[in-house]
Amino acid sequence: MSQTTTEKPTTSLVSVEIMGKPQRVPHGITVLQAMWYSGHELIRGVGCLGGTCGACGIVYRTKDNFELRNGLGCQTLVQDGMSFSMIPHFAPARASYQMAELADPKEALFELYPEAARCVNCNACNRVCPQGIDVRGSVWCAVFGNFDQVAELTMSCNSCGLCVVRCPADMAPNLIALYARRAHGVHELKPPKRVTDRIAEINAGSYGTEWTKLQKMGDQELAKYCTDYPKPSAVK
């Protein structure tokens, strides 16, 4: 009795250009996977692989389209005729400051990041942001001292730096947004009452007995304690 064998279907390949060199890679994989597939040993530019860390910035063009685009290598899928390269690290205009020591962070913005006032509303930063953030709007909110709005607009920023690559005013919108969020948190936001109350209880020694008990436990006792500890009731 003969045994029939079933061949696995061959994955279709597409033609791409990686760092200026033609390659054939499987259809449906990401740019980073294509680079690994073609033998590139990536030491820098690989992080979370989930679009969160912003480490794998790329620049690319697609077939029959002159437009130069930016994206994240772990999120952008290869296309037939696509040409792409990783973006190397470049020196950011990173200011040095201690936020708690700034008497007026809104005025200090123009001392630390004077280029913030040079925004020309070109919208290039918005076009390249892989998170879909209104980067241009956040810069203008920062310029007018609306740090709370900057915090809302840029909360999903992963600081990939693609906005810096395209900015004709040579600014770093991601660093300006980070400064504004820090300023808002340190100088404008009031600490949550539940947190401050709990800190006061800890400082008063309310949990001293429990802390001493935990310090004396071994690994197995701690695991059992965490498993058996009653879950906190839902906050009403």
Query: Which CATH number belongs to the domain containing residue 36 in this structure?
Result: 3.10.20.30
Whether residue 200 is contained in a domain is answered as no
Q: What is the CA radius of gyration of the chain?
A: 25
Same domain, 127 and 180: yes
pLDDT at position 2: 45
Confidence of residue 36 (pLDDT cuts 50, 70, 90): very high
Same domain, 43 and 113: no
Whether residue 156 is contained in a domain is answered as yes
Same domain, 117 and 176: yes
Whether residue 22 is contained in a domain is answered as yes
Q: Across residues 143-159, what is the average pLDDT?
A: 95
Whether residue 236 is contained in a domain is answered as no
Same domain, 140 and 178: yes
Of 125, 20, 135, 17, give the one whose Cα is nearest residue 78. 17
Q: Across residues 146-155, what is the average pLDDT?
A: 96
Considering the chain, what percentage of its residues have pLDDT values greater than 90?
A: 60
φ, ψ (nearest 5 deg) of residue 37: -60, -40
Overall number of domains in the chain: 2
Whether residue 111 is contained in a domain is answered as yes
Q: Across residues 123-135, what is the average pLDDT?
A: 93
Same domain, 71 and 123: no
Note the pTM of the prediction, 2 decimals.
0.71
pLDDT above 50: residue 167 = yes
Q: What tens digit of pLDDT does each residue of 46-100 get?
A: 888 888 888 899 999 999 888 889 899 999 999 999 999 998 776 777 899 999 9
Domain termination residue (choose one: 146, 162, 188) = 188
Domain termination residue (choose one: 86, 112, 143) = 86
pLDDT above 60: residue 9 = no
Least confident residue range of 21-25, 125-129, 226-230: 226-230
Tell me the pLDDT of the chain averaged across its residues: 88
Give the DSSP letter string of the chain: -PPP--PPPPPPEEEEEETTEEEEEETT-BHHHHHHHTT---SSS-S-SSSSS---EEEEE-TT----EEEETTTPBP-TTEEEEEPPP---------GGG-S-HHHHHHHH-GGGGG-----HHHHH-TT---HHHHHHHHHTT-HHHHHHHTTT-----HHHHH-TT---HHHHHHHHHHHIIIIIPPPPHHHHHHHHHHHTTTTHHHHHHHHT--HHHHHHHHHHSPPPPPP-
Q: Across residues 34-42, what is the average pLDDT?
A: 90
Same domain, 184 and 111: yes
Question: Which structural domain, as residue segments, surrounds residue 162?
Answer: 99-188
pLDDT above 80: residue 203 = yes
Q: Across residues 101-119, what is the average pLDDT?
A: 95
Same domain, 46 and 103: no
Same domain, 69 and 146: no
Q: Across residues 126-138, what is the average pLDDT?
A: 94
Whether residue 65 is contained in a domain is answered as yes
Whether residue 228 is contained in a domain is answered as no
Better-scored residue on pLDDT, 34 or 11: 34
Task: Give the C-alpha separation, 217 to 55, whole Å.
Answer: 41
Structure tokens at 144: 């007018």
Same domain, 52 and 128: no
Same domain, 69 and 117: no
pLDDT at position 6: 45
